[in-house]
Structure 1
Amino acid sequence: MNPLDRHAFARCGVAAVLAASAVVAAPWAASAAENRPPSQPALSELTTENEACVAGADRPYVDTRPTLRTVLRDPDGGRMSAEFEVSWTDGSGVRQIRTSGTTTALLSGSPFSWTVPTDVPAFTEVSWRVRASDGTLWGPWSSDGGSGPCEFVYDTEAPAKPLVSSPEYPDDKLWHDGVGVYGTFTVDSTSDDTVSYRYSFFGGPQLTALPAEPGGPVELRWLPQSEGVKWLDVQSVDRAGNASTPATHQFRVSGGRTAVAAWTLADPTGASEAAAEAGGRTATAGDGVVFGAAGPARTSVTGAVGLDGSDSAYLTSGAPAVDTGGAFSVSAWVRPDVVAADMTAVGQGGAAGFGLGAEDGAWSFSVGGSVVRGGVPETGDWAHLTGVYDPVAGTARLYVDGRAVGTAQNVTGTSVSGNLQIGRTLARGSASGNWRGGLAGVRVWDRIVVAAEAAGAAKRGTVSEGYWALDEVTGGNSPERDGGRPLTLGGDAAIYRDGAPCDWLDPDCLPGQSPLFGSGHLLLDGDGDFAATDGQGIATEDSFSVAAHVRIDAAAQDRPMTVLSVGGEGNSLAEVRYSGSTQNWEMALTDAGGEQVTLTAGGAWASPDDVHHLALVYDDEADEILLYADGQLSARQAYRPGWTTTGDLQIGRSQGVDGWGGHLAGAVDEVHVYAGVLSATQVAHLAVGATDV
């Protein structure tokens, strides 16, 4: 090879080697050349003790040394560190700076945090910023490029205890009016950094009120629901969340003011006007009003008036009873003889004032043109209606038989002229809505009647209709305590008495067993035995309650058996029974059309050979049926059966399409029948053996 060619070849080889080297080194050189600094932290991802990054007047105030947080990112990925910096101007005008130093390295996109040092002063505007490093390059500060720093103030001092005053309910150890009357409570602070007040009335839920400006006052409105010693607890809260020592405003609430106008309407037959129970003005009656009618049963109302629905069916006091633009309440016992017509029981000022009565097939209460409806009127049945107008809440509420059935919102009452009318609406000389039926116990208040008062006014008592101790038997009958109809024993039913002599071969003779209660109980063998009131029926068109103690024989525990039933025409209207398949108590109801509903007592095991207490309660006013087992409410259902019959009480059997069945094998004792609704407390008393409630 020519030397020149050899030299040329050598040069080419070296070039090739160098070229190859360049190819291998290129990726490393490119990486080093392209390493980019971390990204500038985004202000949206910076927080001061979970508060957003803000400067100026909106800077957050914190009550502890705050933890500063951010999220850092590197466009090249990998691990990175943070540096936080806080700064402030001290009292000498010298700028102070503290930094976190370089934090532990974390992957790009990770959160970073730092709690500021202990020498950061309170009540000083503090700025902070943060930047990131990838170990080689530092990224820009979060404040760079015009973004600006984050700021905070560390505030460790609680505001002063607030001041509380009330013109209606001052803290003066005197009793003040009263249930159903709003009180205004003014809360103020001497600390100009108070931004909210935390408060609660009488140990109720804690609420928050905001003043119009820091350190300013707030007004709280509160409606007493009951009389007694009450209190308002309040704390001032500053921008940092520091709360003051609680201030307690104690006050005394008297009972609610009595009605400003009232008429019992229980005047004697032949009267022409109703005497005033309150307010001092008699109510003159039109020709369509008849005094001397019967009032609602089991109440303190001793009489009523009947109105025939004609244009002259009304009474009027000749004066307004209340300012319809302020708080007021009105109530009455009402009995409609028709339910298709719109009728007014009590009204004042026409549609612009108020009206209490029935409208569009429902009970109704109207105020200032707004109407609330609820509940269903029933022909010939008494109901208690209460209408309440609350101008502070802007509501009109209607109670039927003591239960709230509806509330209208955004109601505005209007002060209008017009005399109070009973049994009609009268506006601008034109009358309408004349009542057809009975009215009694009309009352009007210049305050709010609270829920407990509405319930109490509508309460009907319970009246014992029969109590059979089942301790003795004479001529096949076990006597009723007060001389009412005895329970007639049928089949082989017997009264078992402790220590009573019997043939030990007789399977009904149970030596060594004591009566369930007292000195005896009713013993049934499940083979056709029963006891019945035989002619002293239960009036099922009104509320009633039936209760008894029972023990199921273990030998018959697999079969269904009836403990109590109320007889109808050819079938039992209601029965309380034992399910042998599930060993549960059940309640079966059959309406006038033959439709049957069955309810199972939840959580109440009907254990054989143990003594249990059962109570069936029908609430006609609430249209519901209830079953209690061992003193506890175990089943409940809305029910409108349309019962109108009077049925005998049957013990130990029920009637169906196939005749009598469900005969009970076991013992029954302490049987009670009441007109009215037994309360849960009354049932509990009977369950432990009380002979009356």
Structure 2
Amino acid sequence: MTFGLRAASESDGLGWKRFSDKAFLRVQYNRPPGQVKMSQLSMEYGGVCKPPASAPRVRTLGKINIAGVTDPDGDNVAVQVQASWDAGDGKGVIARWNPALTSYKKSGSTFTLSLPTTIPQNKTVHWHVRSYDGAQYSPWSWAGDATSCYFIYDKTVPAAPTITSPEYPASQPDDPNDPWLDGVGQYGTFTFKSSSSDVTRYWYGINSDPTSARQLTTTGGAAKSIPFLPSKPGLNSVTAQAFDAAGNGSEIRTYQFRVKAGQPERATWQLDEEAGATEAQGTTPPRTLALHGGATTGAPGTKGTALELDGTDAYASSDLSVVDTARGFTVSTWVKLSRIPQGTAIIASQAGSHSTGFELYYSAYYDRWVFNQYETDTPNANIIRAMAAQPGGVSADTWTHLTGSYDEAAKKLRLHVDGRLVGEAPLPNAWNARRGLTIGAGTHSGVKQSFLPGTVDELQIFDRTLAQGDIDKLYAKQPVGDPGSPALALFPLDEESGATEIRGHGGVLPAQYSGGVTTGVPGIAGKAARFDGTTGHARVGQAGSPHVNTSRSFTVSAWAKMDTTKPGKAAIIAAQTGTHKPGFELYYSAGFDRWVFNQYATDTAQAQPIRAMQPDGTTARAGEWVHLTGVHDTVAKTLTLYVNGQKAGSAPISSPFHADRSMTIGAGIYSGTTDCHFPGLIDDVRLFQRPVSAEEVQQMFRQRPIVKSRWNFEETTPGTPSNTPDSSVEKNDLTLRGAAELGMGWVDSGGLQLNGTSGYAETSKMPVDTSTSFTMTAWAQAAALPEHDMTVLSAGGSKRSALEVRYRPDPADPNGNGSWQLTLPDRDDATATVKQLSSNDFYDVRLWNHIAVVYDGFAKEARLYVNGVLQEVACRDTDGDGAPDEAGCQDLIAWAEDVLTFKATGSLRIGRAQSTGTDQYFAGLIDDVWTFQGALNEEQVYKLFTGLADVPTEVPSPN
């Protein structure tokens, strides 16, 4: 339930105000589900939802897919579908298919429906959907700027190719056990095959329709495969289309599969410490395992408490794997059997689709501890075992330390018992098991078995083969790392009795500061560290503690703000040290005046860097925050640099080396000498031991919008014309023009008072880049009911406005109310395509109204909020027949997809349009104007709407 009480306002400057002695109360008990977007709709044959001008021809009706249907209250949802066409009966295009409401599913679910066989051939058909939460319908998916999904049924079109993937089986949304698979950052192989012998090539698409930019040649429709890195958690899709030698294209085939979130960060240093700190603490996100059956926590352990298992149905599990079992790795744990098992009793395992990537266990058949891997991920695969040469030596009620490892270089499995090597076995072809970690049981073809009777403690997993010295440390209950990388995952198993889950984490060492480093300064989020550019740096571990293997796929990201005076040589943000050269560097290059991500060909003093950097014609911007991400992908054999969420450059790389020494922040180490110090601020340094997708990079950038300006209108500076200061660090002051002056405001006390004929304010430079993600917000109150358009905000281009936010009266409204409108053209030209959004979800223009414009440049989506609300109004349909109760009613939507914008090159004006003539001057008051580089989310917009006094000039914290 939402309960809100707000009073109306005149201009008395008080926090609780009156307007014609009226106040209004809004009580909202149920929020209707949101409109289903076109981007959530697709066809099994036909691809993504298409407008009428792009209607595909399909020879197979198949299913329609409605993905990610949500309700803001988390209520269960159902879906209603309609399809319309002209059947030639004189009734025209009307709804011909109107199936019953689907069954209810959890918010966020995917729905599929089979198209009816009654659809005629060679007729244009369109379908659309809406959702229902049991009380209210959403708007139809065609409402607002969107359209229905169009197609033509044509049996003469060639058949679509088949698509298969062993790593990512096709999603079955109607199956309650439809799996979510690991995952983002894990490659899968997708194979296309045609039954037509004349097919010569395949086009394919990734979460989009196939294009000629992505194609494979074939002969006779033979199978061809691609490696694919899933780009986002949730429902992903691969599409394919086959072509014959004459160029005839088949219908589009859509293959959908569900993907879990990828492996979490290997390490993060937020640099969030208070002033005077000597080191930055490293963290990783928690790894959780759910408890099942008779698994109990809080049992006495070899160190603290432990996990007790009954040997019948008890285990702990996660569907997210921890380690790549095709590469070198180690598993270590303490175990105490409560009785000698009569069969196999598995302590820890990591499952594949059928077999396991490793099992550490007791075998009653061999009467020994065993560490194994199966030769292949098939139901009847052979087992490779490392174990002692002779049976015996295993007893109940005794703590035993076990370490199983795979040596990738030697291609051997090894088993250590109580620190002593007892057996090894050759493993020529290891493979990666990706179906999750289990403690206390094994998983074969999805079935849990071989339950352990006993207690497990201190489980640790490393993404490297441990040397004997490290194994000795583990047996002595000492931490491992520095020298050497710490554990990829540690499960102390120290939960209190009655816990419902096991929580683990990665091992991370702190970054120790040296030289000129100032901590506790304001950062991109929270605090950051300032490096002096001469001596200041931080080192993660002293004896050598690499947190990623730079010969494998990995990702590094950081926020940085370089001082306005650029350094005369390279300035390192983050690096990982080798003997002579770093394994990677994320840095500013003075020689190129660009941001760069590199690796060296070899770890020698004379080695040359392989650089991914910004393209020619661009330069690194000093004095402002930038988000940098470097990705090393061993499958694609590339280095890629992203700047502020956008791909900036890429370079091929074939044989990178592993830099096995310490990571540094703020400088690099070359043959033992610290150099290339960074001058400026660094914040939020992250490492991943996997490639991060472009969409994930965008998401990391989107999490941190940047305040680019805020005008409170509380004071002016002397002069003609006068200025009012910018409260942000950018200090982009506003100049007051015409009769503009300060008056009574809504936030705090002051506001900008405008006469409607000559008064306005403007900047000397545009505060944000309007061609990418941005947000602008303002409070506005009209002096009287307007008789013409009045502009609140406008951003100038050379030939037209890049955006305009205005109030537009409605002559047909007897009460004189109109709507708030947002106009966004796609280019700086008079013939541009213009998107226009409007909202009439407010009480009165003569009251204070909060207006927020949000543009998400990655999703190409624009949103117009009024008083913290994104208008989505569905016409009432009490009988559910798809027709509104009130004739002529239209669903109202205040957002749009597929929106393109251009970069404003002129000034930002407040209270005046950019055009000449009437200029649509605003008459009334405007207050608390913000601009952000980045798209605020709904909760952040709402916080600005509800903040009325002493609001700090910082990004509202997201929920």
When normalised by structure 2's length, the TM-score is: 0.37
Structure number with bigger Rg: 1
Identify, as 1 or 2, the structure richer in helix: 1
When normalised by structure 1's length, the TM-score is: 0.49
